[in-house]
Amino acid sequence: MQRPITLFTGQWADLPFVEMCELAESWGYDGLEIACWGDHFEVDKALNDDSYIPKRLELLESHNLKVFAISNHLVGQAVCDNPIDERHKNILPARIWGDGDPEGVRRRAAEELKDTARAARRLGVNTVIGFTGSSIWHLVAMFPPVPPQMVERGYADFAARFNPILDVFDEEGVRFAHEVHPSEIAYDYWTTVAALDAVGHRPAFGLNFDPSHFMWQDLDPVGFLWDFRDRIYHVDCKESKRQLNGRNGRLGSHLPWGDPRRGWDFVSTGHGDVPWEAVVRMLNAIGYDGPISIEWEDAGMDRLIGAPEALELIRRLSKINPPEASFDAAFSSRSD
């Protein structure tokens, strides 16, 4: 199954969008998963300047690139998060941060996600990838003891904040693909089940599959694809590698990326623990025909090396397709 292979621009937002297009074209990417930060895709301009989107599409076409999805992880993080603090101020547009009042930030972030759905429709894409944030992630250590009602209130809060957002996604014919990720409302298998239950399994809410977050949690990414096969709306190719040696902790010890004392780290696609061939075979089995988007994160490898190398790996694995006839068909003695 020949799926388009795209490059996620989130880790390249320090570059002008035109330069991003030039690089992706030179490496042979089919398109971009465009981040809604830097100058790559600005939601407010997309809705208020009639020339903005045509110019973006013209630029992409001039570099033989397509767009299948946009991503607004940073704004989405603020919708449900508690606390809202200086971390959010560092990643949010000033107009979303405003005066920093936490509930005001959450409400403005929610309105921006609604606008992102409207902008996606104008751009001609039907998938927005993002985060949700979480009011209960800080309870993950379960001490002091966490009453069940606190967790229940967290999922209720998520549903109350996201259902109105999803209403707009429905109106626009766009889907939200939540990236299952630590610090979000859904960060592993069972929290994904709980999040889907919380919003009533409505079709507007699905998943962005990123196996890098599964490996250090000892989750099975291939089984996850099968069990949530009707909710896989987008696939990001990102990689992580465990470095658990009796001293390095799974939680990272507050150490920065790339520090050899961490229990795990992000590495460029093909250099970690993700079983990519098994993932591709399962994507074939569940009939996923959307883009596979390379997301480069590696504190020990230059992105100008990692991005084209990852493309080569996924392009090669993408040649794995089911045969036209079963391999055991030749064993039959019948002649039709």
d(CA 220, CA 225): 9
pLDDT digits (tens, 9 = 90+) for 188-203: 999 999 999 999 999 9
**Separation of CA 201 from chain center:** 19
pLDDT confidence of residue 324: 76
Check pLDDT > 60 for residue 335. Answer: no
pLDDT confidence of residue 290: 97
pTM of the model: 0.96
- The mean pLDDT value for 155-165 works out to 98
CB 9 within 8 A of CB 74: no
pLDDT digits (tens, 9 = 90+) for 17-41: 999 999 999 999 999 999 999 999 9
Check pLDDT > 80 for residue 329. Answer: no
Check pLDDT > 60 for residue 5. Answer: yes
pLDDT confidence of residue 322: 82
- Among the four given CATH numbers 3.20.20.150, 1.20.1370.20, 1.10.510.10, 3.90.1150.10, the one describing domain 5-326: 3.20.20.150
**279 φψ region: left (φ > 0), alpha (ψ -120 to 50), beta (else):** alpha
Average pLDDT, the chain: 96
- Please state at what angle helix 102-123 crosses helix 148-172, rounded to 10 degrees: 30
End-to-end alpha carbon distance in the chain: 29
CB 208 within 8 A of CB 292: no
- The mean pLDDT value for 94-99 works out to 98
pLDDT confidence of residue 1: 67
Check pLDDT > 70 for residue 332. Answer: no
pLDDT confidence of residue 193: 98
Residue 321: pLDDT band (50, 70, 90) is confident
Q: Would the CA dihedral through 234, 181, 240, 83 be positive or negative?
A: positive
pLDDT confidence of residue 2: 84
Q: Which residues contact 330 (CB under 8 A, 6 or more apart)?
A: none
- Give the three-state DSSP class for 30: coil
- The mean pLDDT value for 132-160 works out to 98
pLDDT digits (tens, 9 = 90+) for 213-263: 999 999 999 999 999 999 999 999 999 999 999 999 999 999 999 999 999
d(CA 85, CA 321): 47
Token pair belonging to 6? 């795209």
Over pLDDT 70: what percentage of the chain? 96
Residue 333: pLDDT band (50, 70, 90) is low
What's 136-192 look like in SS3? CHHHCCCCCCCCHHHHHHHHHHHHHHHHHHHHHHHHHCCEEEEECCCCCCCCCHHHH
The structural domains of the chain, with segments of one domain joined by +, span 5-326
- The mean pLDDT value for 70-97 works out to 98
